[in-house]
């Protein structure tokens, strides 16, 4: 079973940014290619950030392991390593392992609007959803160690708009 961060602000803001960009391009058509590329990479960067801070974060619980997908890191945790959930009320939820390590569960945190979710009832709902997911899937015997992997695709996705913007700006400055 998977729990994904599907808060409304990234989707709403992403839609507004995209519609505003398309509207501005249509209004001022034809747009010079350099301006189209520079503004397009800026909008793409915003949309990518909204994706990385929203639906890219998830928690998957299986009978033998828990997979924590944070923005740039993925943890594969065998169920026998999990001790409990640690909550710093109103601020964070972490998966505590038997060896004392803690893994942040970013899926618990609200996307974009930290201040909106400072209400205790919101935190209780999010904590309950994670705890319920861990109890709903019965644990079976598991083997292996905790594995930590970089999410290289997300790193590349986060850097791509900066690279394209930088290359385009450098080419434009060379033409002068």
Q: Are residues 169 and 113 in the same domain?
A: no
Task: Looking at the structure, tell me whether residues 42 and 64 fall in a common domain.
Answer: no
**Is residue 114 classed as helix, strand or coil in its secondary structure?**
coil
Range of the domain at 44: 2-54+154-175
Instruction: Give the pLDDT score at 39.
Output: 85
Q: What is the pLDDT of residues 150-173, one digit of tens each?
A: 999 999 999 998 998 888 888 888
Say if residue 70 is in the same domain as residue 84. yes
Whether residues 64 and 113 share a domain: the answer is yes
CA-based nearest residue to 75, from 106, 48, 49: 106
Do 143 and 161 fall into the same domain? no
pLDDT tens profile 60-79: 999 999 999 999 999 999 99
126 in the same domain as 65: yes
Residue 53: how many other CB atoms lie within 10 Å: 19
User: Cα 49 to chain center, whole Å?
Assistant: 8
Residue 115: pLDDT band (50, 70, 90) is: very low
Domains in the chain, number: 2
pTM above 0.75, yes or no: yes
**Is 94 strand, coil or helix?**
strand
Give the pair of three-digit tokens for residue 65. 């392991």
Task: Tell me the chain's radius of gyration from C-alpha atoms.
Answer: 20
Token digits of residue 163? 């690279």
């Amino acid at each position: 079973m998977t729990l994904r961060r599907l808060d409304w602000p990234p989707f709403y803001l992403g839609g507004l940014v995209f519609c505003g960009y398309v509207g501005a391009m249509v209004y001022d058509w034809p747009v010079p290619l350099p301006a189209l590329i520079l503004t397009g990479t800026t909008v793409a960067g915003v949309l990518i950030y909204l994706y990385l801070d929203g639906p890219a974060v998830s928690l998957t619980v299986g009978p033998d392991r828990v997979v924590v997908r944070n923005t740039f890191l993925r943890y594969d945790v065998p169920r026998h390593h999990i001790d409990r959930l640690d909550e710093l009320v109103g601020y964070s939820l972490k998966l505590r392992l038997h060896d004392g390590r803690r893994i942040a569960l970013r899926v618990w945190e609200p996307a974009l609007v930290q201040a909106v979710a400072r209400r205790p009832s919101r935190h209780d709902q999010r904590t309950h959803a994670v705890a319920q997911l861990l109890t709903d899937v019965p644990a079976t015997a598991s083997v292996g160690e905790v594995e930590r992997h970089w999410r290289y695709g997300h790193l590349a996705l986060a850097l791509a708009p900066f690279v394209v913007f930088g290359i385009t700006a450098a080419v434009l400055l060379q033409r002068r």
